[in-house]
Structure 1
Amino acid sequence: MNYKEIATEEDIKELMEEFCYFHDSCIKEMNYVSGCYVDVNRAMQPINVNRTVEIIFQSQMSDCRTIQVQFDKIKKLNLEPRDEEYDAIIYGASLIKVNMTFYWSEWENLKTEDINSSRGTWIAAERIRWKKLNDSDIY
């Protein structure tokens, strides 16, 4: 399945409704690609040209159990995983666009003034795409 680009408020609404506003969901796994690397001759490509985070989310509520969300050109990733004493359930998430940056937060009702002080896991990125995954797509 192809990725669906998020560009407008309608695109945001489509993702949030499709995945039940992330109610009763969780982060299954996360992958970060910087774009920086050392080649076989040990020469450094020192610039983070990608800055991409891919997250696989799963939901108990959504008709689609699993989605993959790709955050490109991330500006900030604030990861606060809960330890074994607490559940890792996302009870509702937020996705907003401020100027040219998207903000996804594991907390509902994220407001512009709370963006950089928000607790929990949240991501700021220039571009977001998502797609549904079948059970056979999950590794």
Structure 2
Amino acid sequence: MHWIEVNTEKDMKKLLEVFGGFHDGCLREMHLWNSYFIDEDLCMGSGEGNLNAKVIFQRQLESPSAIEVYFTQVQRMNIVSTPSNYWYSIFEATLSYKDGLYYWSDEDNFNIDSPTNEAMWISSKGIKWRNRSEWMGEELRYGCKE
């Protein structure tokens, strides 16, 4: 499955349209990585140092029912755990662009200029996405079960 790159306002609207504004959805799984590493000789390797994230979102509607979003060159993120006895569902997500950064949030009307600690959000220099409807259910795709 090929990646669909987000480059314009029209691309952002298309992603929100295709995935129904993330309505009745959830952030299922996330994988973070950068180019830093320690090699076999215990020396630091750095590469470009960019932080990247792949995120699986699932929703209660078809076509597509799951997507994978690739956030390139992540600048900042706020991930919030769901409290006990609380049902988590995205009602409407926000996707916007400002000063060279894309912002995704699980909160509609997300304010880029004063982000809250209650909302989940990610800012990055690039976004790509692809249909992963075959990835429904509780099986983890990036990691393993405990």
- Is the pair's TM-score, using the shorter chain for normalization, greater than 0.5? yes
Q: Equivalent residues in 2 for 1:118-133 (5 A)?
A: 119-133=118-132
1:97 maps to which residue? 97
Q: CA deviation at 1:40?
A: 1.1
Determine what percentage of the aligned residue pairs are the same residue.
28
Q: Provide the secondary structure at the position in 1 that maps to 2:90.
A: coil
2:73 maps to which residue? 73
Deviates more, 1:117-126 or 1:35-44: 117-126
Q: CA deviation at 1:49?
A: 2.0
> Which digits, 9 at most, give the CA deviation of each residue in 1:21-67, with x for residues without a partner?
00000011000002111011111124662300110000113421110
1:55 maps to which residue? 55
Are the equivalent residues in 2 in contact too, given 1:101–1:127 (CA < 8 A)? yes
d(CA) in 2 for partners of 1:111 and 1:91? 16
Runs of 4+ in 1 over 4 A off after TM superposition: none
Are the equivalent residues in 2 in contact too, given 1:81–1:121 (CA < 8 A)? no
The structure with the greater share of residues assigned to helix is 1
2:39 maps to which residue? 39
d(CA) in 1 for partners of 2:48 and 2:30? 18
d(CA) in 2 for partners of 1:121 and 1:84? 17
